[in-house]
Amino acid sequence: MDLNYTPEDLAYRAKVRAWFEANTPKHELKTWEERLAWHRKLYEAGFVGMGWPKAYGGQEARPMEQAIVAEEMARVDAPGPVNGLGIGFIGPTLIHHGTEAQKQRYIKKILTAEEIWCQLYSEPNAGSDLASLRTSAVRDGDHFIVNGQKVWTSSGLRAHLGILLARTDNTVRKHEGISYFILDMKSPGVEVRPLRQITGGAEFAEVFMTNVKVPAENLIGELNKGWHLAQTTLGYERGGNILARVTSFKARFYRLVEVCHTLKRNGRPAIEDPLVRSKLARIWTETENLRYTGLRILSKLERGEKLGPESSVDKLNYTEMHVRHEELIMEILGMYGQVDKGLPPELKLKEDAEAHTAGTWTYDYLYAKASTIYAGSSQIQKNIIGERVLGLPREVRADRQAIAAAAAQKKQG
Amino acid sequence: MYFGFNDEQLGIRDAARDFFANECPTPVLRQIIEQPSGYSEGMWRKMAEIGLQGLPFPEEYGGQGLGFVELALVLEEMGRAAVPSPYFATVVLAGSAIMAGGTDDQKARYLPGIANGELKATLAFIEDDINYTPSGVQLKAERNGDGWTLTGRKQFVPFAHAADLIIVPARTGEAEEAITLFVVEQGSAGLSMEALTELDLTNRDYRLTFDGVRVAGDRVLGAVDRGWPALEVALRHAAVGACAEMLGAARRCLEMSVEYAKVREQFNQPIGLFQAIKHMAAEMLVDVENAHAATYYAAWAQGATEEEAKMGAAVAKATVSEGCRTVANKSLQLHGGIGFTWDHDLHFFMKRIYHNGPKYGDPDAWRAQALEQALASAEAMAVA
């Protein structure tokens, strides 16, 4: 047990800090072009795809180095790179499961963000039960013909390419008939519509596919093995977010404290109100506790250990905590917390944030609520923890019963 | 950076787990708590034989020279078995005060006896006003020739009846931190103690009355008026040690709950099949994992900078006390009626958590302290 950073880590941190202090844009990046230019700067400095193999343009950086960079970025509130899904898992999936031709064609442009990727997974009737997806891909000569609808596609409006889960055999049990494809988002028959969220913004899209021709060489891995590919988390970028989220939670906490010096409660600064202080104290201690759990996970990753289903414990923990803290922030701010436009600068979360965007109290309050829904809802995480970590008996579910009944019937017949 | 245990540490943990599983299974625990002393002298001697009492003290004083992480591992196992013992009072409370406040001569006088099991000790900190800041110490010590006379009252002193030595912080001046630590012997004239029967029977707390107790001048631990810093260290150690015990007890509550959910059948199926039960167990694991991270971060931090030691202890005591109490409550709910019976063992582990929660500073107090520290460092950052 040694929670000190090594001298090498400290030296690396100093170098990274100096770079971000010198290079981080002084104002909010308003346009996509500005964001792309910043991405390229990060890429050239070696801060994009840090965990990727060197052979594919990465740095093979240790989880700790990734964590340090992410932490230092959060510290100065530096904008992140674009193409997060591509860098986070689509690229690594292609490196492991793609053909040589696919690797040559796609991988480098993921890191440079010359091609933006999106993920075509969820459907209106396939959320938590993703394997029940209905989008179909039917073989037709050297193509597949794809029909269906996807939803909650982040970056859907900008993406050049998508990674698509579609059903290629509906005569077998649902997990066994799914394949994994690369979809060119400019293909005829692909229609992308923005999906406006409760925050007012539209970072997601709905994607409609009507008789879309997908070349057979765009299949990733084996036919009908797509579910298993999608289930293996292949991220190289694993150290990154664990401590960065703590740093950004802390940045928000410090801003809240500043605001509490201006905000009044019963004629006195809110910061002097014992009830406000009690809430601030809870936010602080729980955030600090999250840092300790993050260090523990990071230390496992540093030793090359796999996280497995216990990453569900982490996801459940930090998302539920985030939601609780946003509730406390709203309790402290009262009606001021609900003002999206027209809030005095001294009460704002970020001075130059616009209405309906990240950096306003309202947006963060609402967006936190998405975190306990996306990437496996809290309830799904609890099932995983209960069954795969604690070893409680697996649920008797209608879909499993139907499979068992069908198998029994087949045996009889 | 490594947030895990090395082979030696895992060996200590496993040895402690085996020892208490053998020496203090719940049938034995039930017998011990029925006795007036509330602990087993035989177990105390065996603990000394395997070196538990000397674990955190330097080898020159007969100890093992290990750190707070190793101590926390042993305390976690004691919590897991809800061991009734003057160990915490002797090693964590008195031992930390002597290590932090005693002169070399005093360490040489007391620590070897603690390490070999001959001496038991405790610390009488709290008074009627449960207040862990310097102003909480109001018991008066007045000069009397070469020595001192102590007058006043102490509360919630663990295993005071068993202690050969009682370390007593007393007020020796007007300044807020003018506090001196005295080593008072069991049986001193004018010292009386009254047992408190509390919810957790694996602990024994006493109310001590000092009615002109005379203490020799050489029984001042460290220097006159300089007792607060050592007391602060002892309090921090107590808070983190209490967390380790709660963590062990919470793990036991969770393990018992998972086992029960697998075998208890209602509506023709194990109750663990119901999401209502499964999700409760998953939430308990989240609290246990948070408690683990907070406890061992804090245990490590006790050997790091003072700032980290303070913040680590404060965050741990606040979050572990609440998290483990929630685990205890859910474990009872999960067990249902059987868990509410005296004959079922669950309540011993629940009550150990309930006992440690407010002791050595309640979560609100520690959270407030963590906030003060965070705000002060934010200001320092703003100035720099």
Q: What is the pLDDT of residues B204-260, one digit of tens each?
A: 999 999 999 999 999 999 999 999 999 999 999 999 999 999 999 999 999 999 999
Give the pLDDT of residue B381.
67
Residue of B nearest to A10 (CA): B1
| Average pLDDT of span B111-130 | 97
Residue A73 has pLDDT above 60, yes or no: yes
pLDDT bracket for residue A306 (50, 70, 90): confident
How many Å from the N-terminal Cα to the C-terminal Cα in chain B?
27
CB A59 within 8 A of CB A16: no
- Among A87-91, A179-183, B301-305, the minimum mean pLDDT is found in A87-91
Residue B163 backbone dihedrals phi, psi, to 5 degrees: -80, 130
Is A237 noted as a catalytic residue in this protein? yes
Give the pLDDT of residue A233.
59
Two structure tokens written together for B72: 């926390």
Mean pLDDT, chain A, whole residue set = 93
pLDDT bracket for residue A224 (50, 70, 90): very high
Residue A239 has pLDDT above 70, yes or no: no
CB A249 within 8 A of CB A287: yes
Question: Side-chain half-sphere of A29: how many Cα atoms within 13 Å?
Answer: 17
Residue A32 has pLDDT above 70, yes or no: yes
Q: Is the model more confident about B17 or about A49? A: B17
Interatomic CA distance for residues A286 and B370, integer angstroms: 11
Give the pLDDT of residue B28.
98
Residue A238 has pLDDT above 90, yes or no: no
Three-state DSSP at B142 gives strand
Give the pLDDT of residue A151.
97
Q: Is B278 on the interface with A (CB under 8 A)?
A: yes
Strand partners, A182: A163
Residue B380 has pLDDT above 80, yes or no: no
| Average pLDDT of span B336-353 | 98
Q: Which of chain A's residues have a Cβ under 8 Å away from the Cβ of B6? A: 1
Give the pLDDT of residue A351.
83
Per residue in A342-397, pLDDT (tens digit) is: 999 999 998 878 888 888 999 999 999 999 999 899 999 999 999 999 999 998 88
Which of A2, A286, A390, A397 is the best residue to mutate to test the B interface, defined by the most B CB atoms within 10 Å of its own CB? A390
Give the pLDDT of residue A413.
66
Nearest to B247 by CA among B352, B99, B369, B362: B352
Q: Is the model more confident about A231 or about B175? A: B175
Strand partners, B166: B122, B184
CA gyration radius for chain B?
21
Active-site entry in A71, A115, A203, A237 = A237
Interatomic CA distance for residues B20 and B252, integer angstroms: 13
Residue A199 has pLDDT above 80, yes or no: yes
Inspect the interface and report whether the beta carbons of B304 and A392 lie closer than 8 Å. no
List the single residue in B283, B285, B319 with the smallest CB-CB distance to A389: B285
Give the pLDDT of residue A234.
52
pTM of the entire structure? 0.95
Which of A258, A290, A292 is the best residue to mutate to test the B interface, defined by the most B CB atoms within 10 Å of its own CB? A292
E strands along chain B, which residues?
Answer: 121-123, 140-144, 147-158, 165-171, 179-185, 191-196, 205-215, 220-221, 265-266, 269-270
Give the pLDDT of residue A397.
83
Interatomic CA distance for residues A400 and A387, integer angstroms: 15
